[in-house]
Structure 1
């Protein structure tokens, strides 16, 4: 029997889209899928080691830009962000209704063996390094390597 495989290109750094990406990743991994997530541009915020605003990057502009983006604690909603309050309100509603929060979904994905990869080009542009990410980020890849890893499975762009 062939291995079931799901590969997600996580471009968005929006709270609700990250929840969708990690819900699909953890749910698929729980159903014995091989799951790969390729984090690129704003999606990289989901796997930064430091979750708040930090100064990381090479050079002034990269550090300033990464500070403005923040990390997981600073991801906005794609709509109705209400000056940054919506992700906190949504997290509270998720807890109240016993739904896994974004942070819990990321941790579940890690525990279930989801493969996390960072985009080499995005890292180069943003001036960030592998050490700036969670230990679960296995490798820095280019597009061609990601396509090799995702061959034979479903691919989603979020």
Structure 2
């Protein structure tokens, strides 16, 4: 097994996007390779201006919960999602976008942050990426 973490980012919930990026950055900082395969609602977060647009997975409360959590994160000096994504890419993290999801949800490449995406593909792209990984996660 290689020193590699591969994360399926299925959820578009704000807290889960944070988790995926924090884990991915942690793996990269520890000298591992890291890839994230964005699919279904997770892929929505790769839309231009969409990274931080998802609801919370719990206690969203019509946006009030998201506002409260965002304030607490800022107070605790947690980097914003844009910064976490910048760091992830600068450290060599790979982003894979699910083409099947794009087709199902009618998402075009030009709607996405194409500069973040390293590859487009279907399940075979994910399986090929994950087959030798030492860590695989589904978020």
Q: TM-score, normalised by structure 2?
A: 0.90
Bigger shift: 107-116 or 34-43? 107-116
Give the root-mean-square deviation of aligned CA atoms: 1.4
Give the Cα separation in 1 of the matches to 2:69 and 2:104.
31
Deviation for aligned residue 1:117 = 0.7
Point out where structure 1 has 5 or more consecutive residues left out of the alignment. 52-70
Give the Cα separation in 2 of the matches to 1:85 and 1:140.
35
Bigger shift: 109-118 or 92-101? 92-101
Give the Cα separation in 1 of the matches to 2:21 and 2:74.
16
Match of 2:120 in 1: 140
Deviation for aligned residue 1:113 = 1.4
Give the Cα separation in 2 of the matches to 1:46 and 1:28.
21
Give the Cα separation in 1 of the matches to 2:35 and 2:124.
14
Give the Cα separation in 2 of the matches to 1:79 and 1:22.
19
Q: Give the conservation status (yes or no) of the 8 Å contact 1:75–1:87.
A: no
> Does 2:131 match 1:151?
yes
Count of aligned residue pairs for this structure pair: 137
Point out where structure 2 has 5 or more consecutive residues left out of the alignment. none
- The CA deviation string for residues 16-64 of structure 1, in whole angstroms up to 9 with x for no partner, is 1111111100111111111110000100122112x1xxxxxxxxxxxxx
Ranges of 4+ aligned residues in structure 1 off by more than 6 Å: none
Partner of 1:98: helix, strand, or coil? coil
Q: TM-score, normalised by structure 1?
A: 0.80
Q: 1:136 to 1:72 in 2, by over 3 A?
A: closer
Give the Cα separation in 2 of the matches to 1:88 and 1:72.
15
Match of 2:73 in 1: 94
Match of 2:93 in 1: 114
